[in-house]
Amino acid sequence: MAKKTGEKYQAIIDAAVRVIAKHGYHNSQVSRIAREAKVADGTIYLYFENKDDILISVFNEKMGQFIETCRERISTAGTIQEKLYILIHAHLSQLSQNPEFAIVTQIELRQSNEKISKGIGEVLKTYLTLIDGIIEEGIAEGIFHEELDVRMARKMIYGTIDETVTSWVMKQCKYDLISLVEPIHNLFLYGLVRR
């Protein structure tokens, strides 16, 4: 029914990101996205089931690329510590370079409804699995604590980075996000306590 390809499909996805970033989720009417994408309102429904589907697709498309980029970069790393470093860096640098998308993921998409949350959850899982992989490898290599709770460690990593980006967006993306990679990396590896 809804065909998920074609240049109009992409145009709508891109328009949606721009509109949501600019006007906020609650002011992103279908007709506004249509206008921004220079298509008719009805055309939207040739490519998307409904409004939620636009939002979910936006996230999937963009997040898909995001994760792929992370995975590729990590694969170039040597040590576990480097992989973790690259993960943090890839996450922050990508959002840093695309503040509009950052606004959408950190703020606007969380203001949406349950159905969207679920749709998003699916893709996020892939990302979390990527993090899990690094942690498990670290344990297997004897670098990380062997009794580490993988899911817990993942929550620390994801939760910390996510909170960092949210703070940055809330502060109008005014400061340099990349400079935080190093301190985050250190916190993850060695924690708060001095030796």
Partner DNA sequence: CATGAATGAGTGTTCATTCAT
Partner DNA sequence: AATGAATGAACACTCATTCAT
Which CB, 65 or 186, lies closer to its own copies? 186
| Contact residue for DNA among 24, 39, 130, 158 (CB under 7 A) | 39
**Considering only residues 114-153, where is the footprint of its own copies by CB under 8 A?**
114, 117, 121, 135, 138, 142-146, 148-149, 151-153
| Contact residue for DNA among 24, 46, 158, 173 (CB under 7 A) | 46
- Which value, to the nearest 10 degrees, does the dihedral of the CA atoms of residues 15, 16, 22, 25 take? 160
Buried b (16+ CB within 10 A) or exposed e, 67-80: beebeebbeeeeeb
Q: What is the 3-state secondary structure (H, E, C) of 24-45?
A: CHHHCCHHHHHHHCCCCHHHHH
86 alpha carbon, distance to own chain's centre: 15
- Verify binding: residue 4, DNA, rule CB under 7 A: no
Place of tokens 């002011």: 27
- Which value, to the nearest 10 degrees, does the dihedral of the CA atoms of residues 64, 23, 3, 116 take? 60
- Residues that bind its own copies (rule: CB under 8 A) add up to a total of 48
Q: CB of residue 14 vs its own copies: minimum separation in angstroms? A: 23
Which CB, 11 or 52, lies closer to its own copies? 52
- Verify binding: residue 41, DNA, rule CB under 7 A: yes
Under 8 Å between Cβ of 102 and 20: no
Under 8 Å between Cβ of 17 and 59: no
Binding site for DNA (CB under 7 A): 3, 6, 8, 27-31, 39-46, 50-52
Binding site for its own copies (CB under 8 A): 24, 26, 81, 84, 107, 110-114, 117, 121, 135, 138, 142-146, 148-149, 151-153, 155-156, 158-164, 167, 170, 180, 183-184, 186-195
